[in-house]
A and B are shown apart, each in its own frame.
Chain A
Amino acid sequence: MLKLLVVDDSGVMRRLIARLLKNLDQEVFLVGSAADGEEALSSARRTQPNLITLDLTMPNMDGLETVPLLSRDHPNARILVISALADKATCIRALQLGAHGFLTKPVSEERLINAMNGLIEQLEP
């Protein structure tokens, strides 16, 4: 069973991502959602997700602070950053810190599904 943790300070975004799960190539269950990095770390410890979608601009602990901690604690999980920050430097930095993919908001359903399916393929069976 594949497990997804959604991290975004916008509830609208969290629900949008959750609605797309039914369109993925494999069955993925939403096991947690978090509105900032601190909540994300706590939720990930409890739920042990395989997939994590992560916003960058969030209160308390932002996404760039959170990526290396999630990556360290959950080395087998795939992390997809979904952020409004559209400059190349931020994308490169997120990937260097441990993210496995980067999508710029606003994101279409098709781009999001393709990106998540791509990360699912990378997961070890």
Chain B
Amino acid sequence: MNDQQLTAFATTARDYFKAQGLPPAEIGNPYLMDLAEPVVYHYTGLIGINGSFSGCIYYTAPKAMLSHLLVSLGDLDSGEDTILDLVGEVANVLSGNVRRVLGENFLITPPLALKGEPEHLRTPMGMRPYVVPIRWKSYHAALVVCIEADHRPG
């Protein structure tokens, strides 16, 4: 993944809040994740990637941030299912929006929403993901990008 592509993910993460009229998010400098210390908060929305790239993307956030985001969006239901729904939807939006830069062959799956912080993280084909840190209000979350260009013929 080159700088322009990585910047596209950071820009997308920043614009997610702005586009909905929410207080702006601060996006930190992306860095390579240490697989021994995976960046995972309480809830995670995972998107599979295929087509021109392969791998996965996930958005991970603490429960308090997702609950706060729901209220900010006018949703009064902050039950477990709704939080899982939201974390999946955010992952879907962030990964779908980068098609502005990565193009229509950057194919995304519907989200898989997960709860919990695993002790270990297994990445596709041993890839080392980039972490895009997100700070919104007082909360820390992250967009984790684990993709590589797919050069297979056909």
Contact with A along B8-47 (1 / 0, CB 8 A): 0000000110011100000000000000000000000000
Q: Is the CB of B70 within 8 A of A12?
A: yes
How many A-B pairs with Cβ below 8 Å? Answer: 71
Q: Measured between alpha carbons, how far is A87 from B92 in the docked complex, in Å?
A: 14
Contact with B along A42-77 (1 / 0, CB 8 A): 000000000000000111000000000000000000
Q: B121 CB to closest chain A CB, in angstroms?
A: 24
Q: Is the CB of B82 within 8 A of A106?
A: no
Q: Is the CB of B75 within 8 A of A15?
A: yes
Q: Is the CB of A107 within 8 A of B20?
A: yes
> Does chain A have a CB within 8 A of B88?
yes
Q: Is the CB of A87 within 8 A of B77?
A: no
Binds A, one of B93-101, B122-130, B133-141: B93-101
Q: Is the CB of A108 within 8 A of B74?
A: no
Per a CB cutoff under 8 Å, which of B15, B19, B75, B81 touches A16? B75
Q: Which residues of A contact B16 (CB under 8 A)?
A: 106
Q: Is the CB of A87 within 8 A of B86?
A: no
Q: Measured between alpha carbons, how far is A109 from B73 in the docked complex, in Å?
A: 10
Q: A72 CB to closest chain B CB, in angstroms?
A: 24
> Does chain B have a CB within 8 A of A83?
yes
Q: Measured between alpha carbons, how far is A104 from B96 in the docked complex, in Å?
A: 9
Q: Which residues of B contact A2 (CB under 8 A)?
A: none
Q: Measured between alpha carbons, how far is A78 from B74 in the docked complex, in Å?
A: 26
> Which of B74, B82, B98, B110 has its CB near the most chain A CB atoms (within 10 A)?
B110
> Does chain A have a CB within 8 A of B108?
yes
Q: A105 CB to closest chain B CB, in angstroms?
A: 5
Q: Measured between alpha carbons, how far is A109 from B20 in the docked complex, in Å?
A: 8
Q: Which residues of B contact A86 (CB under 8 A)?
A: 96-100
Per a CB cutoff under 8 Å, which of B20, B85, B98, B103 touches A108? B20
What are 28 inter-chain pairs, A to B, with CB distance below 8 A? A10-B85, A10-B89, A11-B81, A12-B82, A12-B89, A13-B89, A15-B77, A16-B73, A16-B75, A19-B74, A57-B110, A83-B96, A84-B94, A84-B97, A84-B108, A85-B99, A85-B108, A86-B97, A86-B98, A86-B99, A87-B99, A87-B103, A90-B99, A90-B104, A104-B97, A106-B16, A107-B19, A108-B19
